[in-house]
Chain A
Amino acid sequence: MEKNKMRLVQGNEACVMGALYAGMRFYAGYPITPSSEIAEESSIQLPKVGGKFIQMEDEIASMAAAIGASLAGKKAMTATSGPGFSLKQENIGFACMAEVPVVIVNVMRMGPSTGLPTSPAQGDIMQARWGTHGDHPIIVITPTSVKEMYEFTIRAFNLAEKYRTPVILLADEVIAHMREGVEIRTDIEVIDRAKPTPGEPYLPYQLKEGDIVPPLASFGDGYRFHVTGLSHGENGFPTNSVEINNALIRRLNSKITDHLDDIVEVEEGYTSDAEFLILSIGSTARAAKSVVNTLREQGIKIGYFIPKTVWPFPEKELKECFKTVKKVIVPEMNMGQIALEVERVAAGQAEVHRLNKVTGELFTVAEINDGVMAVINK
């Protein structure tokens, strides 16, 4: 009877399955729709594997708790939506500065403010990059399916551990709430943070030759070290030294920008000869794919470009497309955020056309098709 290994799983549920596979043992959150099932499912599953689930008093505290748990050696996650994501920003900045691995899931709903709860939107793309202040590094990945909710959550933990950084899984309501057939892979590599070598002197922010980031000791393992949001030297204590600050900020950023080939992921279709390109993320990308497949059958030279890592933005990969692409259409469930990056990368090499929807509903296939045809026929 077993025709395949597919199971019907909800996006948010798949996220928790991925987190547990990756080794999540701590979740702190303040439930908010459309992410609430992540908290709910974590509260059911974590106690079964010896993990801890805490519902905190608010989003600020839950972000802090996740950071604390990570510094104590546990893989930690929190999940939220727009209003809660705003509140978490201060502590996300702390985690960037203190280089604490942690996964933040933001299931986007319609904003600003409390907006339309449980209605899909993609308005947090710039906030995910620049929501917290200062020149901080960040990795933001964007799933388009339930399968990717599972696999990208694992990837989020892996990237967080490898680069000692917060990683944001930026989903939208459609992907989080839909149920889809998915084969739950159990052959995905799990990366754990580098730990100090026992017996050797340890400085929490001393980068050794050949390493990507300094190893991270766990509080409770016997190492005495200091963690602060202030600019700090290799020993972790605050400093006002201009040289040390300069080196720190440059190292924090280059640990990401030096490894773009590892971090940046893109799904492309028909781009090798495309004159027209649809660039989109999340659930919008699924509508876009459908449109491209149909238009290709009609002989129109169109392709799709789906950033699966939206930050750092896949600049090199997109530039490659401009060898043939003359017009890009950027459908987004916002007033135009990714389009800004596309315009920057295109730098006049191709026309960039925006297609924006802010009704709190997913694009229909017809809406994208009509928008694209208007651009093609212009």
Chain B
Amino acid sequence: MGKRIEYQLTGSGGQGLITAGIILAEAAILDGNNAIQSQSYGPEARGGASKAEVVISKDVIDYPKTISPDYILCLTDEAYEKYGKENHKNGIIMVDQSVSIEDNSNGVIKAPILSTASEQLKPIVANIIALGFIASYSNVVTKDSLLRALMDRVPKGTEEMNQKALDLGYQLAEDALNAK
């Protein structure tokens, strides 16, 4: 990995995407790379569309925010409208299956993140499934580091469920890549 890789994780406030962004950045640091995580605050943090940003690079990172995101994950319609659409030409857009997009031909990748969480585990780990999905698909951080960063962040007693969630995310990414 030479150049900087940029992520935007978007959804609604409370979905845990900031936590997912922090874990992704921590994994990058454990791998020995540089990483910066930031987020949008304000009214957005209390419901509505929320955005976590992660920049990863081997080189020193001067500008701390995303310039032209390589991967944009949108878990809700509102997040897609606000953050996904405008970035269509620049990066890979990934949306939850439930998100309605008018134009399916533009390389938008769909994955059943929210339904997998609620059907196979709990809705609360949708962010970790999303993390596994985007990390696996983009292949920038190692799974070892990601798992280690995840275990450092999650509450005691939830390790197993979170690890399962991460694995499910990796599986969804594999499915998506196979479907291409």
Contact = CB atoms under 8 A, between A and B. Distances in A.
Interface of A: 1, 3-4, 6-8, 33-34, 116-119, 173-174, 177-181, 283, 286-287, 289-290, 293, 362, 364-366
Given A1-B30, A287-B63, 17 more contacts: A1-B148, A4-B29, A8-B25, A116-B42, A118-B42, A173-B41, A174-B38, A174-B64, A177-B38, A177-B41, A178-B38, A179-B37, A180-B36, A180-B61, A181-B29, A181-B36, A286-B62
A286 B22 contact: no
Nearest to A287: B63
28 contacts: A1-B30, A3-B32, A4-B29, A4-B32, A6-B29, A7-B29, A8-B25, A8-B26, A8-B29, A33-B41, A34-B41, A116-B42, A118-B42, A119-B42, A174-B64, A177-B38, A177-B41, A178-B38, A179-B36, A179-B37, A179-B38, A180-B35, A180-B36, A181-B29, A286-B64, A287-B62, A287-B63, A366-B67
Q: Which 5 A-B pairs have the closest CB atoms?
A: A3-B32, A290-B62, A118-B41, A179-B37, A178-B38
Contact of B34 (A173, A181, A362): A181
Q: How large is the interface on B (under 10, 10 to 19, 20 to 34, 35 or more residues)?
A: 20 to 34
A180 B63 CA distance: 12
Nearest to A174: B64
Interface in B22-51: 22, 25-26, 29-32, 34-39, 41-42
Contacts of A180: 35-37, 61, 64
B82 interface: no
A365 B25 CA distance: 22
Contacts, number: 67
Contacts of A3: 30-32
Contacts of B35: 8, 180-181
Contacts of A4: 29, 32
A178 B52 CA distance: 10
Nearest to A289: B62
B42 A178 contact: no
Say what secondary structure dominates the interface of chain A: mixed
A283 B29 contact: no
B42 A365 contact: no
B37 A286 contact: no
A365 B32 contact: no
A198 to B, nearest CB: 49
B38 A117 contact: no
A272 B64 CA distance: 27
A7 B25 CA distance: 10
B41 A293 contact: no
Contacts of B31: 3
A178 B64 contact: yes
Contacts of A1: 30, 144, 148
A22 B30 CA distance: 27
A364 B64 contact: no
A178 B18 CA distance: 11
B65 interface: yes
A16 to B, nearest CB: 18
Contacts of B63: 286-287, 290, 365
